[in-house]
Structure 1
Amino acid sequence: MTLVKFANGHNKRAVNPFFSDVFDSLINDSSIIGRGPAVNIAETENEFHIELAVPGLKKEDFKISLDKNVLSVAADKKVENVEEGKKYSKREYSYNSFSRSFTLPESADHAKIEADYTDGILTLNVPKKEEAKIQSREITIK
């Protein structure tokens, strides 16, 4: 009988280096598993911009809600393709859904949030409250 020592985190590539690389990249790549659509978040002097890449959906597929300081974006889409042949019926179902939540800062003006969906990009504009906007002025020296 031969004893084979398997690595417990010290050297994961001991069994099969190729398998470890592929498996680790699939498990650890958060853009592939469980994250939903890609998101860009930017801040300007007057507002926050949130952009989600969600091609193939319609405006009606989205549900955008605000609960306290948490802005949630969700979508559900069910697609059914039916092709009928001579003696059989072929059906393919596709069901896509996601949900993303964003915690808004205290400086966000919840009453003026706007959303737009154009060319597969959902854009959310979150204005800042007046008192939170950067106010610049020149200061004179006495």
Structure 2
Amino acid sequence: IKAELPELKREDVKVTIENGVLTISGERKFEKEEKKRKFHRVERGYGTFVRSFTLPDDADATRVKAEFKNGLLTVHLPKSEHAKPKQIEVNVA
């Protein structure tokens, strides 16, 4: 899962897993108004946000990892070992 979260800090983003649901939440804080700068229009939402995803049946929730770099949150959902295909060696009798 990738989420673009420009101008957010790592501490403003929270990733949780509960009952097979991965939730990304956080808060985009209002910027201080600079008296010398005026904007005609700003198209960026501020405040809290929440987005939830149901984990696939073959995801291993105990090994989920999240990385946050340059405003991009990447969540890795590895497959569980029992979901991966296995090759079985056939012996000749």
TM-score interval (norm. to shorter): 0.7 to 0.9
Q: Greater strand share, 1 or 2?
A: 1
Q: Report the RMSD for the aligned CA atoms in angstroms.
A: 2.2
Q: Secondary structure at the match of 2:59?
A: coil
Listed as ranges, the matches of 1:95-134 within 5 Å are: 95-134=46-85
Q: Secondary structure at the match of 1:81?
A: coil
> What is the one-letter code of the residue matched to 2:50?
S
Larger radius of gyration: 1
Deviations 1:21-53 (A, max 9, x none): xxxxxxxxxxxxxxxxxxxxxxxxxxxxx1111
Q: Greater helix share, 1 or 2?
A: 1
Count of residues paired in the alignment: 82
Going from structure 1 to structure 2, the CA distance change for 1:83 and 1:129 (only over 3 Å counts) comes to: closer
Gaps of at least 5 residues in structure 1 are 1-49, 86-93
Measure, in 2, the Cα distance between the counterparts of 1:83 and 1:51: 32
TM-score by length of 1: 0.50
Going from structure 1 to structure 2, the CA distance change for 1:77 and 1:109 (only over 3 Å counts) comes to: same
- The equivalent of 2:39 in structure 1 is none
Measure, in 1, the Cα distance between the counterparts of 2:4 and 2:85: 29
Offset at residue 80 of structure 1 (A) = 3.6
User: Percent same amino acid at aligned positions?
Assistant: 39
Offset at residue 83 of structure 1 (A) = 4.4
Q: Secondary structure at the match of 1:60?
A: helix
Higher relative contact order (CA 8 A, sep 6+): 2
Find the partner of 1:58 among 9, 21, 28.
9
Gaps of at least 5 residues in structure 2 are 37-44
- The equivalent of 1:74 in structure 2 is 25
> What is the one-letter code of the residue matched to 2:11?
E
